Structure 1
């Protein structure tokens, strides 16, 4: 075919000896560090065309007319397609609700919505041709917040929709509503000695992955298409792509290309269908690569939110009640908003015991950019609010904020507001104790014998201060996050494991559809195979749709669910190898008896002796292969009236202590340290675990002090779609992040593990805000905090 840059990087076997519990190096690590790793944007075909997408310059408008003639007449252009050119009657897609048009159908609902696609022989030709497509818009009033979305005269953004959420929402511009009701809040309020209230604003955050959306679609001789794509969920993409193309799923063959980060932003489709449509229309391979500007419009973001919270407590510090309302802006299309609402509501009380709860969470349809999955998935917004409330209560009661949290902390056996019993370790108080006990960073560390080291001060190398007006603050926060898909979702994964002899040595091959997006799953799968089969040589095959679904690389679920599938498949392989050995040698063969014992213990070659040779004899000329589907224990939907139900399979917990220094005159913040304590159940790869915790912590830091997609409230246009104006932490902004890893096994999970990647994103943001409040004495009820919020010029 001539395709290069396809994801063959990981097919070579890894000969490292590490099993479960060891800090095994990643097989893709050297390739990424040296620049030799093939990302999806590196793919090439000798006869390929380039695709480009024309996007709407306005947020809400009727499309009066589209004229593509001038674009089609441009030399080098092979195809131009609009909604009317789509090949089937299936022209919408969506993760949960199929409300997103492949190309705009008579109306655009957000700034940057795809209107037309072009294929040409050069990327600049495709861009110039797209610019020549003439589209006449008739602008409509924009819906940008709850007031404009639910007003009596509000334009209905999706008229006539009939999905399973519609009967349970009070307005057609509300995607989903989930209440959580338990106890008697009114009575508990009368018994409260202190009550605190707060209204909090949480900004729209971008996943800011470094590899923009890209992929290569290659038409096949059988009328199908081969798609090489950077994604988080191959089979969910397949389910949405095939009906639009009018093809059976077995004719849409998908292979994971190199992914440069995800964090939820690749869970929805971006250019997948567009590339396939152009490839099938032209009969040529088509590659699409977004630039950074296009990427800001081409994927969903974290839901911005307004959160209204009231807590009560007794004089001795026990929580009496919680009443909360969480309003999430889902933007123009549903994406995963219903599930985000479920998380925000069910986790909205935080990791605390509170018997009387009244929480309502809703997600809106607006003309703002579509929002969906991002690391933390609804729990992040809630944590920002309830942790600010904990500090307010502690201050009003004259209590230490950590001790107040510990007094109300849940533990194993506690009851969630949903009625679910927390039936695995919940060491909330212990995590707070550990993070508080960590050594504090030195005071005035910018002071040197030669004067001030400005790199350690707010403003850094901009040299704005030498320490004048700089005040230190310390803040704490803790959060709770669910692991895996919830609310009755059939959350399963598939793994195919093969064992054979290659070059006289037993080799295990692991094949799953798990999307390796940088989280290190390929390393863990090899570790599991070594542990369960004892082999040294493990080959990880590229992820594709030729094996059963592994679900999404999200919700901190892959090590749990796909790791569980790999573990079970390896156990079945081991049993089959034992059967072969018994058949060939019988129990009387002394060397085989040694090998048999080692196999039963999952240690075939670790003795380095005869057992290895005997195992090779057993498998010589034979191969054992097993494909295993594995599910975690089932969950159930939350009741749509009360919110009660066994909705989550597992919970994870992390606590942070933030130390900041603030230039109170200029409003500049330097985060000195973000210490974290987290329970991970079992650290399958300790090095990767610490990396995940530090990465999640840094994203929370970004949300605290710099990251926000700014949308014009009058036009719903994005103001800062670039890394020039949308700021993310660099190495100069990233503080010291000491990590204390606690391992309290969850008996329901493989190896006792607990999902790791999301929990630190929750508590790092409110910890930083708490530290800034401590330094400045300001209330600070929104995030991110900007200089004008600290200097009174906002």
Structure 2
């Protein structure tokens, strides 16, 4: 790993060990690798019941009748609930559009939709009782694609609805539509010397987190409920849960339990309302833990997409125009589809300068599984298509694919198709140069002189299917553009409470936020910020809950930026309060209290020249300082629904990849040898964690390139592979070398100059792998994931 550039200088607390810029270790790291960490599925409560969800076996069907009598009569069963048992007039929920029923009513709209709930004294009893619930379904035709969704006689997935989006979409089965028009793409196309087009298909990817959905609901004496749950956004959950329970928000108290990964799949509710309903009905604590099969139905997935692209260029390699149409399958319920459409459309050009564009992105309602947030949403699908187009253009022009990209790369000051100016560093050309200049891995690594060949280095790996016959190497490049933070006018803010006090004669800081720690390392960074700003080594991170203001979602690469910004903001206020207290208490004894710039370092108050004025513990001995503040980044605005113009995004992040693959062209097997990455992170607050995020995102992109896909039967809309036996994931044996070059070019608008890190590498790794496979085989390969039959023609 290399870290280079011009990071923002840090004026506060640079001599306090464990501050920002250091690779401090995660406080939860040892517990997780030794298996001692308590995840939400590990929770236990005395006299606890177990909840279970009965799910639809059809993707689209009318519910004619439900008979729960036999289930209720089962020994050990305490409650069985259906839609008719819901306690409130509010019976739907949703992130943006409240179109998702707590339990199905009238009909089911996708395979696996929740229909009934059971609470029993043992999980197997709950499952057996659920199997006794008799439901009479009348199967209905399914909507599975754009043709069936928008036909003149199409069945409406949500009949009788009049949501906010209805005025700007051409059909009720379209959730959202966002065009972006700038310049005159048709006129520019006429001036192009070369025009290339392509149709691309992107498969449905699962977040595949290791910890399935789980939580524990405990009824309270005040008639409310305490919910301990693995989630990505406590306050968003609260906003959706309380109305359905018929309770005020202050009677639904939420605490973050241990989260075993998220990647967007925990933004939507899963078992939260169900556990609370059962706990309030039975008066007992209720725990729900999905098995892996249930988990595939219990959360949204990445939108599958079809993308049509056209690009033109002059003979000397300058892009002239771009036209594209992106169709995202949102499944049965809206979830985050409107935001995914916004990202897909506004980032569909990629990190390139193109003045004339004509873009349209839509998301459909269908009877396929619901889709929503997943790492890099919207931008991932677009990047796969536009990077394939860049390679096509370079080939048509006889140009090097990296040089062609560099020639058209955006930079600081570029005007995007939305009319927004990129006002921070955009080192696209430099990232491509860096990743291209990295040393190449050795050829034919499976050959070991005088010994048996190392099959692990071959396509097919330990399956021992080839010994190098017909294996061809390929190299491919890609670069991506991703937004950071919530966009399009969303009031994106976070809250932090910081308390500084003297304990046993030592200054101690407690940081309390509602940030969901899902593995990204926020609990590490928040302590680093507090040490940096307050000069105190002993920092405690309070468990996340709803007793402090919202921190927003752990998504969109926003938490270090926004909640980190809130922690920094509150720490600055605490520092000023502490210095004010010190001036009152000690200021008469030394003139520097009034005249010098004062810093907090190493548990002391010092001048900018390093002279110690007082111990912090002495300043705090009579009074603690406790401050809670909100912090917002600069505002954004909604995109115009006709033209797509608007300053819709807060910040942009960039990553470039070079993939080296080896392909057995006879068997259709692929070995990704290396995925080198160069990424600008603005400021690496914790370099070790930054590299971990880049490598993790890279592997998720590798997964969708060559193996990961939820397969849905197009005739029945049923999921065919809801298990880790049939849904393939990269293992350590599939993980290539991932050298990382971290560039630090500060964004002056962000705390410490940082830039969101976690999503950008997920964009460019997928098209880089596809480009390398195309380079090895000469095939067009316009879909993900690539399967053996796509390489062999069988």
TM value normalised by structure 2:
0.97
Tell me which residue corresponds to 2:474: 473
- Give the superposition deviation at 1:503: 1.2
Tell me which residue corresponds to 1:105: 105
SS at match of 2:712: coil
Tell me which residue corresponds to 1:622: 623
User: Given the alignment of the two structures, is residue 124 of structure 1 paired with residue 124 of structure 2, yes or no?
Assistant: yes
Task: Spell out, residue by residue over 1:417-449, the C-alpha distance to the aligned partner (whole angstroms, 9 max, x if none).
Answer: 000000000000000000000000000111102
User: Given the alignment of the two structures, is residue 581 of structure 1 paired with residue 596 of structure 2, yes or no?
Assistant: no
- Give the superposition deviation at 1:373: 0.1
- Give the superposition deviation at 1:274: 0.1
C-alpha distance in structure 1 between counterparts of 2:430 and 2:761, whole Å: 16
C-alpha distance in structure 1 between counterparts of 2:218 and 2:566, whole Å: 31
Task: Spell out, residue by residue over 1:238-287, the C-alpha distance to the aligned partner (whole angstroms, 9 max, x if none).
Answer: 00000000000000000000000000000000000000000000000000
C-alpha distance in structure 2 between counterparts of 1:231 and 1:783, whole Å: 29
C-alpha distance in structure 1 between counterparts of 2:111 and 2:551, whole Å: 33
C-alpha distance in structure 1 between counterparts of 2:129 and 2:595, whole Å: 70
Tell me which residue corresponds to 1:422: 422
Gaps of 5+ in 2: 1-14
SS at match of 2:237: helix
C-alpha distance in structure 2 between counterparts of 1:721 and 1:603, whole Å: 57
- Give the superposition deviation at 1:621: 2.4
User: Given the alignment of the two structures, is residue 279 of structure 1 paired with residue 303 of structure 2, yes or no?
Assistant: no
- Give the superposition deviation at 1:402: 0.2
Conserved? CA contact 1:158–1:173, under 8 Å? yes
C-alpha distance in structure 1 between counterparts of 2:615 and 2:697, whole Å: 46
Tell me which residue corresponds to 1:200: 200
Tell me which residue corresponds to 2:143: 143
What is the RMSD computed on CA atoms of the aligned residues? 1.7
C-alpha distance in structure 1 between counterparts of 2:516 and 2:612, whole Å: 35
C-alpha distance in structure 2 between counterparts of 1:502 and 1:589, whole Å: 26
C-alpha distance in structure 2 between counterparts of 1:657 and 1:61, whole Å: 47
C-alpha distance in structure 2 between counterparts of 1:162 and 1:601, whole Å: 60
Tell me which residue corresponds to 1:520: 521
C-alpha distance in structure 2 between counterparts of 1:606 and 1:76, whole Å: 69
Structure-to-structure mapping, 1:567-646, within 5 angstroms: 567-589=568-590, 597-599=598-600, 604=605, 611=612, 614-646=615-647
Tell me which residue corresponds to 1:307: 307
- Give the superposition deviation at 1:153: 1.5
C-alpha distance in structure 2 between counterparts of 1:292 and 1:606, whole Å: 58
Tell me which residue corresponds to 1:566: 567
SS at match of 2:161: coil
Conserved? CA contact 1:552–1:558, under 8 Å? yes
Tell me which residue corresponds to 2:79: 79
User: Given the alignment of the two structures, is residue 389 of structure 1 paired with residue 389 of structure 2, yes or no?
Assistant: yes
TM value normalised by structure 1:
0.97
Conserved? CA contact 2:72–2:78, under 8 Å? yes
- Give the superposition deviation at 1:160: 1.7
Task: Spell out, residue by residue over 1:561-615, the C-alpha distance to the aligned partner (whole angstroms, 9 max, x if none).
Answer: 00000000000000000111111111424797899723399975899x9949622
C-alpha distance in structure 2 between counterparts of 1:425 and 1:603, whole Å: 37
Tell me which residue corresponds to 1:785: 786
C-alpha distance in structure 2 between counterparts of 1:304 and 1:544, whole Å: 34
C-alpha distance in structure 1 between counterparts of 2:498 and 2:27, whole Å: 18
Tell me which residue corresponds to 1:730: 731
Task: Spell out, residue by residue over 1:62-86, the C-alpha distance to the aligned partner (whole angstroms, 9 max, x if none).
Answer: 0000000000000000000000000
Gaps of 5+ in 1: 1-14
- Give the superposition deviation at 1:289: 0.1
Conserved? CA contact 2:16–2:602, under 8 Å? no
4+ runs of 1 displaced by more than 2 Å? 587-607, 609-614
- Give the superposition deviation at 1:186: 0.9
- CA separation of 1:344 and 1:329: change in aligned 2, threshold 3 A: same
Structure-to-structure mapping, 1:118-267, within 5 angstroms: 118-267=118-267
Tell me which residue corresponds to 1:539: 540
- CA separation of 1:636 and 1:454: change in aligned 2, threshold 3 A: same
Tell me which residue corresponds to 2:674: 673
Tell me which residue corresponds to 2:486: 485
Task: Spell out, residue by residue over 1:127-166, the C-alpha distance to the aligned partner (whole angstroms, 9 max, x if none).
Answer: 0000000000000000000000001111001112122111
Tell me which residue corresponds to 1:8: none
Conserved? CA contact 1:477–1:657, under 8 Å? yes
Conserved? CA contact 1:706–1:728, under 8 Å? yes
SS at match of 1:158: coil
Tell me which residue corresponds to 1:20: 20
- CA separation of 1:132 and 1:310: change in aligned 2, threshold 3 A: same
Conserved? CA contact 1:531–1:602, under 8 Å? no
C-alpha distance in structure 2 between counterparts of 1:204 and 1:235, whole Å: 28
Tell me which residue corresponds to 2:3: none
Conserved? CA contact 2:592–2:607, under 8 Å? no
C-alpha distance in structure 2 between counterparts of 1:56 and 1:711, whole Å: 15
C-alpha distance in structure 1 between counterparts of 2:711 and 2:229, whole Å: 29
C-alpha distance in structure 2 between counterparts of 1:748 and 1:729, whole Å: 37
Aligned length in residues: 779
Conserved? CA contact 1:103–1:114, under 8 Å? yes
C-alpha distance in structure 1 between counterparts of 2:715 and 2:790, whole Å: 22
- Give the superposition deviation at 1:301: 0.1
